[in-house]
Chains A and B, each alone.
Chain A
Amino acid sequence: MTAPALADMPTAGGFLLVLAIMLPIAGVLLQFMLGGRQAERIALLVMPAGLAVAVAVTAALVRSGRPLVYHLGSLAPPLGLSLRADGFSALMLMTTALIVGAIGLFARADFATPTGPVEARQPFVFWTLLLALWSALAVVFLGQDLFTLYVGLELLTFGAVPLVSLDGRAETLTAALRYLLFALFGSAFFLAGTVLFYGEYGTLDIALLAARTHPDTTSAIAVAMMTAGLLAKTALFPFHLWLPPAHAGAPAPASALLSSLVVKGPFFLVVRLWFGAMPGLTDLPAAQLLGALGAGAVLFGGVLALRQPRLKPLIAYSTVAQLGYLFLMFPLAGGEGLPASVRMAVWTGGAVQAVSHAFAKAAMFAGAGLIGQALGHDRIGGLRGVGRALPVTTFALALAGLSLMGLPPSGGFLAKWLLVRASIVTAQWWWAALVLAGGLLAGGYIFRIIAPALSAPEQPLPAIPAPARRREAVVLALALVSVLLGVVPFGLTTLLAVGSPAIAHIVPR
């Protein structure tokens, strides 16, 4: 039909994208070959290599100002499959590499390889799934073919579900099973939409679809089914029922991965679908519906977080709420003739919210894990005096909370500020009101943690074993990144502009 745009020709350095996917998977294969005794060591070796690849991808994007593209087997779509990294993909790759690395360091104490001759099941499962999740996320962030993305989504689910029930208690098994059933519904719907797209347009490549799609009934049904499936997997209100028990019941390092990274995968695909495969979709009233569901999530998640008696469920409900903000991207970036600067601001706002929430939530779940291990419970009523016993962890929780509330100078503030400004520019003041209300709710539930933690205990606490300095440092580093994102955002805008469909939509095709 149309000649493929220059941006979709293979670029130098495209092989880095293959490495980003293959490195963690090669690690998993090695782990299975060499067994449980080596699993932890292999995971720790892959981490710096994967981070180096993510840095190289990001550097290549910033240097050339164009997306990286790789055609598998040198076959161009529609015959072959292509991998492509735009600014958003590169940012998510970096985030994933950093958080997987940090949580890996943090989890060494929880999932240490036993010294005896007997291999343990839990550490082996954790270290293999950690790398498997990483690879699946890379497929989701880089894939350009809807079916490749479907396989990536499934790999993500298969990695995430066993992490939930790692300790094998009946309660977590139930949570894992419920998560899996929601995810299966999601994958069936995503696949059904893919089938309809193939039947209508004869290709599954996102760049080719973007040039061919036109709004008709079949496309509308396809997009609606795929979006519904993805929402079930990302746990957007009202599909959030599975998330709190699953994320709150998992061991702390697993919760951190699930809440910070795994739920972002399906969200990323909603963005790919709405901005990439069907540009112009955000102009439709359906975008308002996505925004309304996001609003429901912000309010509902926030109110329920206020009512939780325990720390980990509170943090899990906070994830439900924070995911809601991400979906404000869709109504705000819509509208005919919206200036590119506003679209770009919304794009940046959504991306920064995804990343800053990822770091903040990884810090909070890891910190909650340290508190739970120190106290032997995580009841919020029993947190008095924790600030004195675990000062670094409490400080990190407060910093991460800053980002969740959206107070300056955190990354959360930058994201919410960009969204609020866009909602005023586009004369949709209700979204601004929602962001402010969500910030108040977040302030409320963060206060519920920090206030008792800083107050003096009623009776002297029993001697609390201090957590390892290194683990507290990891939690603090994660929280600091989520705050610093708001202080040094200048490079982010440049990176996110690379290959962004938010701008490409304006350019006549």
Chain B
Amino acid sequence: MNAEVLFGLAGAVLAGLGLYGLVADPAPLRKLLAFNLLGGGVFLVFGVVARRGAAAGLGGDPVPQALVITGLVVAFAATALAVALLRLLFERTGQTLLDSAAPERTSPDQADE
């Protein structure tokens, strides 16, 4: 097993874990972290693609590296937007769950505090 296969598999595992968390975890903050894991896996696979596609004598194909940097910026912006929304939601309702129907402050769910 050479380095590319190893990193490729690691990327796939990360992406799989992230996808599972994004779909299965009920808490939005954890979903967000899972999205970042998923994104990390995809970027890692892209790195492997760069390594494999490199012309003879080059360490890596520069195009995927440039794209990964852009992708990181986009993922960062998305995370910031989601965290801002989540903070606002917490300020308004005192909780950060998506599923409880219309809590709007007066809800009696202080059970888990």
Among B46, B77, B92, the residue within 8 A (CB) of A158 is: B77
CB B15 to nearest CB in A, in angstroms, measures 7
Convert A156-172 into 0s and 1s, putting 1 for each residue whose CB lies closer than 8 angstroms to a CB of B: 01100110010011110
Q: Is B64 an interface residue (CB 8 A)?
A: yes
Verify if A489 is at the interface (C-beta below 8 Å from B).
no
Bound-complex Cα distance A389 to B63 (A): 61
A192 to B35, CA, bound (A): 13
User: In the complex the two chains form, is B52's CB within 8 Å of A170's CB?
Assistant: no
Question: Inside 8 A of B31's CB, which chain A residues have their CB?
Answer: 181
Cβ contact within 8 Å between A177 and B82: yes
Question: Is B85 in contact with A202, judged by CB distance below 8 angstroms?
Answer: no
Question: From A178, which residue of chain B is reached at the shortest CB distance?
Answer: B98
Indicate whether B103 reaches chain A with its CB closer than 8 angstroms.
yes
Interface size on B, residues (CB 8 A): 37
Tell me which residues across on chain A come within 8 A of B42, comparing CB atoms.
Answer: 188, 191-192, 195
Q: Which of A166-214 contact B (CB under 8 A)?
A: 168-171, 173-174, 176-178, 180-181, 184-185, 187-188, 191-192, 195, 198-199, 202
> How far, in Å, is A135 (CB) from chain B's closest CB?
16
Whether A199 contacts B39 in the complex (CB less than 8 A), given A151-B70, A161-B81, A185-B22, comes out as no
Asked if A184 and B82 make an inter-chain contact with CB atoms under 8 angstroms apart, the answer reads: yes
Does A154 interact with chain B (Cβ within 8 Å)?
Answer: yes
Q: Does B17 contact A (CB under 8 A)?
A: no
- Are A154 and B38 also in contact (CB < 8 A) when A170-B93, A177-B28 are? no
Interface of A is mostly: helix
Q: Name the interface residues of B12-53: CB closer than 8 Å to any CB of A.
A: 15, 18, 22-23, 28, 31-32, 35, 38-39, 42, 45-46, 49, 52-53
With A170-B92, A195-B46 as known contacts, state yes or no: A147 contacts B85, CB within 8 Å.
no
Which of B23, B89, B103 touches A177 (beta carbons < 8 Å)?
A: B89
* Complex interface: chain A residues within 8 A of B45 (CB): 192, 195, 199
Q: How far is the CA of A204 from the CA of B86 in the complex (A)?
A: 35
Contact of B10 with A by CB under 8 A: no
Which one, B67, B74, B78, B89, contacts A170 given CB within 8 A?
Answer: B89
